[in-house]
Homo-oligomer: A and B are copies of this chain.
Amino acid sequence: MSHIINVAVAGASGRMGREVVRMVLEDPELKLVAAVATSAGPVDAGTLVGKPDTGVIMSANLAEALSRCKADVLVDFTNPKSAMPNAETALAYGVRPVMGTTGFTPEQIAELDKQCKEKGIGGLIAPNFSIGAILMMKFSAMAAKYFPHVEIIETHGDQKLDAPSGTSIKTAEWIAESREEIRQGNPNEEEVIEGARGGYYNGFRIHSVRLPGVFAQQEVIFGAFGQTLKIRHDSYDRAGYMPGVNTAIKKIMTVTGMVYGFEHFLD
> What residues of chain A have their CB less than 8 Å away from a CB belonging to chain B?
50, 130-132, 135-136, 138-139, 142-143, 145-147, 149-151, 153, 155, 158-164, 169, 184-186, 188-201, 205-215, 221-243, 266-267
CB-based contact B146/A160 at 8 Å: no
A21 to B13, CA, bound (A): 26
CA gap between A226 and B16 in the complex, in Å? 14
A138 to chain B, nearest CB (A): 8
| Partner of A225 from B147, B212, B221, B222 at Cβ < 8 Å | B212
CB distance from A256 to the nearest CB of B (A): 24
Is A163 within 8 A of B146, CB to CB? no
Out of B158, B223, B225, name the residue touching A239 (CB < 8 Å).
B225
CA distance A215 to B236 in the complex (A): 9
CA distance A153 to B188 in the complex (A): 21
What number of copies of this chain does the assembly contain?
Answer: 4
The distance in angstroms between the C-alpha atoms of A185 and B226, with both chains bound, is 24
CB-CB under 8 A from A131, the residues of chain B are 146-147, 224
The docked-state distance in angstroms from the alpha carbon of A238 to that of B151 is 24
Cβ contact within 8 Å between A209 and B153:
yes
Q: A186-B159, A232-B229, A240-B224 are in contact. Are A192 and B210 (CB under 8 A)?
A: no
Q: In the complex, A196→B130 CA distance in Å?
A: 23
Q: Give min CB distance, A121 to chain B, whole Å.
A: 26
- Known: A196-B198, A213-B240, A214-B228; 5 extra A-B contacts, CB below 8 A, are A158-B186, A162-B190, A195-B197, A196-B207, A198-B198
